Chain A
């Protein structure tokens, strides 16, 4: 599956902040800030969601929630509503990996 980096990068708000929950599987984003409503800002900060941290969306759970992310070399899961509070800058060109897939995970949006 070779989704070209440009497709993602250009079509979708480049440079602007988007909620982490908007990223698709396999996409990456860099933390900009937390939305002010987030009660979890401190906890997440301490777990490594600091500004400029690169976060990769690994997969969502079978029922679409929670979502697994990877950052600073480890894996963590957050619920969609929690990920919504983290504003990231979408990074393109990170879809270099081909993943073992079942089902509709690979469908591009």
Chain B
């Protein structure tokens, strides 16, 4: 490898770029790759202290000296040969994309296990640089690493870095440039010795593959030979031999494998892993000194409380409760300010524009629709703030640890818990995060139940309804809805796991990373990222939806029958008369016709046609439910700028409100989520199941609540 990628000359910012190089950032999960990637590229993206946050491969470009460096942040990998879905992405990048250089990010304090991957990369003979990350922690923990000596032993530059402070980044780039400069100098790579017997067989296979008649192999033959002896299935396709020769080599390798197994009474794969660790400990013996400090590490002490036998689960529960209380309680103040601002704007526009369609469009369509959703921005920010603190600090892994027993009993996996919590933010990234689950069965199951975890887009609906109908208990009602969602997810998970999947076994081998203080930078970035997505949605789908809905509600106009439809809107008109008229206008318009069409299906749930239409529009995005209500109800009642008053006046009872919130919680995932499920599952069947079961569940639950409540005299 390390081939010349063609001399491209280009002018960037006045500097001559005479070389493009591709650099991959590899490393164990949780080694700080993404933080370092951000520091290197200056771009920012999601960083989390949970093994497996990088679910997609991200690329950034750096200009350094006369190099244009294409840097790729790979998903965390413990090994090239054992495979989870994410590890496969990293492996395929390294094997098929042939990067010029790989920077392996190593979690400094945890160097021994991290160097296992290094041994595999060494055998791939890609030019390597070791970024000894979290070097500050290394020192704090009383560890001494002789980097120069280590560099000599491993045959690669070793550069101490502190990703979160950007330390060592410059030296890393210098090393990249230096290495790229001599990519053609053949350098004798460091060799891991597997002992006499193994080495003999490796040579034997190499000789077979390097027969002069064959094409030059695309991969180092020693690496191929080792892979064959290990019995890795992805090797044979990469052997660039004719079918006949390949079969010959494979047969030979099988023979060798059996021979070695009988000889050592151990699977060659295990043997080779042991030898690699042997090499690592040999290298560390001379370069690594750890003077254990008095007492326990901070992480250990925190975990004594957070994963305590008695307190562990209550603390988890309390943290979740706190998150939702904060979301509602703290969020309520800025929400109030934004509401006031929107009310003012609405009044201003009303007074500027003359009565007519333009004014209606602006006040009812635009401000009524988008305004009713944008007020929830603070709530959503707080929710994401909480989730990112949980992720960055390392608590998520503990949550998986604490809940695995329950999840396992329900046919799920402890690791499913993390995508599920992410689902409180947004189902789409949560569904993508299921890639961290190793078995397809667990992935599908988790994907199917994630939409039951109430996402932030549903929050506006709850806040609106709970705040309106249960002003004193809104926080608890909302928390209850979240719990109900979790409850449904677990029941459905259990049900589906026994209905559709036979009991596959997937292990719970999970690293518990050290707690790390989330950096303000990363948190701010998380939130900014969310705000951007939210505002984009406002400007896009919600704006269009609101305007469309307004149009459908405003046209066609009813025939002029009552004499004077042009009542001036100066606030002196009798409210009920005005409301009645608007209402009949709506019913006559397209929206009313549509509403009548779906009314029979929602009537048993106690919903009127406007609620039905709002829910229908929510398929596009759940926030649209509220913006639709903003349009539909404000059209009916001009006098109240606040949607809340309009809802109370429209005769919705608290019982109906509960049924409506539950329905919104459970019914079909939004369009983006359906898309994500389809992409990730690759199956129409599961995607369809997801839509159908959730809609049926929602209808059933709302029906039971409404009709049951009526029987009990609550309605």
Q: Interface on A for B, CB 8 Å cutoff?
A: 34, 39-48, 50-51, 58-66, 68, 72-79, 82, 97, 99-105
Q: Do residues A48 and B116 form an inter-chain contact, with CB atoms below 8 A? A: yes
Assess the A42–B406 pair: CB atoms within 8 A.
no
User: Is B296's CB under 8 angstroms from A45's CB?
Assistant: no
Judging by beta carbons under 8 Å apart, are B113 and A74 in contact? yes
**A50 surroundings in chain B (CB, below 8 A):** 273-274, 277-278
B711 in the interface (beta carbon within 8 A): no
Q: Give how many B residues have a beta carbon under 8 Å from the other chain's beta carbons.
A: 48
User: Is B300 touching A58 in the complex (CB atoms < 8 A)?
Assistant: yes
Contacts A48-B116, A62-B402 given; does A75 touch B511 at CB 8 Å: yes
Question: Which residues B386-440 have CB closer than 8 A to chain A?
Answer: 401-402, 404-406, 408, 414
Residues 160-197 (chain B) with a chain A CB within 8 angstroms = none
Q: Are A78 and B508 in contact (CB under 8 A)?
A: yes
Least Cβ distance of B113 to chain A in Å?
5
Q: Which residues of B contact A103 (CB under 8 A)?
A: 308-311
Asked if A77 meets B273 with Cβ closer than 8 Å, knowing A41-B267, A66-B414, the reply is no
Contact between A43 and B509 (Cβ–Cβ < 8 Å)? yes
Distance of A90 Cα from B509 Cα, bound (Å):
22
Is B507's CB under 8 angstroms from A43's CB? Answer: yes
List the A residue with the shortest CB-CB distance to B300: A58
Q: Which B residues contact A (CB, under 8 angstroms)?
A: 78-79, 81-82, 109-113, 116, 267, 269-270, 273-274, 277-278, 290, 296, 299-301, 303-305, 307-313, 401-402, 404-406, 408, 414, 505, 507-514
Q: Which of A45, A61, A79, A99 contacts B402 (CB 8 A)?
A: A61
- Chain A residues contacting B309 (CB-CB under 8 Å) are 59-60, 62, 102-105
Distance in angstroms from A101 CB to nearest chain B CB is 7
Within the assembled complex, what's the spacing in Å between the Cα atoms of A69 and B492? 32
Q: How far is the CA of A96 from the CA of B269 in the complex (A)?
A: 36
- Whether A76 contacts B112 by the Cβ 8 Å rule is no
Interface centre among A34, A45, A78, A104 (most CB of B within 10 A): A45
Within the complex, what minimum Cβ distance (angstroms) separates B439 from chain A?
12
How far in angstroms is the closest Cβ of chain B from A19? 16
CB contacts (< 8 Å) of B269 on chain A: these are 42, 45
Q: 8 smallest A-B Cβ distances: which pairs?
A: A63-B405, A62-B312, A45-B273, A75-B512, A103-B310, A46-B79, A72-B112, A100-B304
The distance in angstroms between the C-alpha atoms of A65 and B409, with both chains bound, is: 11
Kindly state the separation between the CA atoms of A65 and B507 in the bound complex, as whole angstroms: 12
Whether B404 pairs with A79 at a CB distance below 8 angstroms is yes
Q: Which residues of B contact A102 (CB under 8 A)?
A: 304-305, 308-311
Task: For A61, give its contact among B82, B270, B405, B509 (CB under 8 Å).
Answer: B405
**Distance in Å: Cβ of A44 to nearest Cβ of chain B:** 7
Residues of A within 8 A of B111 (CB): 73
Q: What is the CA–CA distance of A72 and B107 in the complex, to the nearest angstrom?
A: 13
- Chain B residues whose C-beta falls within 8 Å of the C-beta of A58 in the assembled complex: 300, 303
Q: How distant is the Cα of A97 from the Cα of B297 in the complex, in angstroms?
A: 12
Cβ–Cβ < 8 Å partners of B296 in chain A: 97, 99-100
Question: Are B507's CB and A41's CB within 8 A?
Answer: no
With the chains together, A21 CA to B507 CA distance in Å?
A: 15
Q: How far is the CA of A59 from the CA of B307 in the complex (A)?
A: 9
7 further interface pairs, Cβ-Cβ under 8 Å (given A46-B81, A100-B301, A100-B305): A42-B267, A44-B509, A50-B277, A66-B404, A68-B401, A75-B511, A105-B308
Cα A82 to Cα B301 in complex, Å, equals 26
Q: Which residues of chain A are near B308, meaning CB under 8 Å? A: 62, 102-103, 105
Asked if residues A77 and B508 are in contact (CB atoms below 8 Å), the reply is: yes
Min distance, Cβ B290 to any Cβ of chain A, angstroms: 7
A78 to B299, CA, bound (A): 18
B421: shortest Cβ distance to chain A, in Å?
17
On whether the beta carbons of B110 and A73 are closer than 8 Å, the reply is yes
A63-B406 contact given A46-B82, A77-B401, A99-B296, CB 8 Å threshold: yes
The answer on a CB contact under 8 Å between B290 and A73 is yes
Most buried by B among A60, A73, A105: A73
User: How far does the alpha carbon of A43 sit from the alpha carbon of B300 in the complex, in Å?
Assistant: 25
Do the beta carbons of A51 and B274 come within 8 Å of each other?
yes
User: What distance in Å separates the Cβ of A13 from its nearest Cβ neighbour in chain B?
Assistant: 23
Q: Chain B residues with Cβ under 8 A from A41's Cβ? A: 267, 270
By the criterion CB–CB under 8 Å, are A42 and B304 in contact? no
Q: Given A47-B78, A102-B309: A82 and B507 within 8 A (CB)? A: yes
Q: Which residues of A contact B82 (CB under 8 A)?
A: 42-43, 46
In the complex, what residues of B have CB within 8 A of residue A97's CB? 296
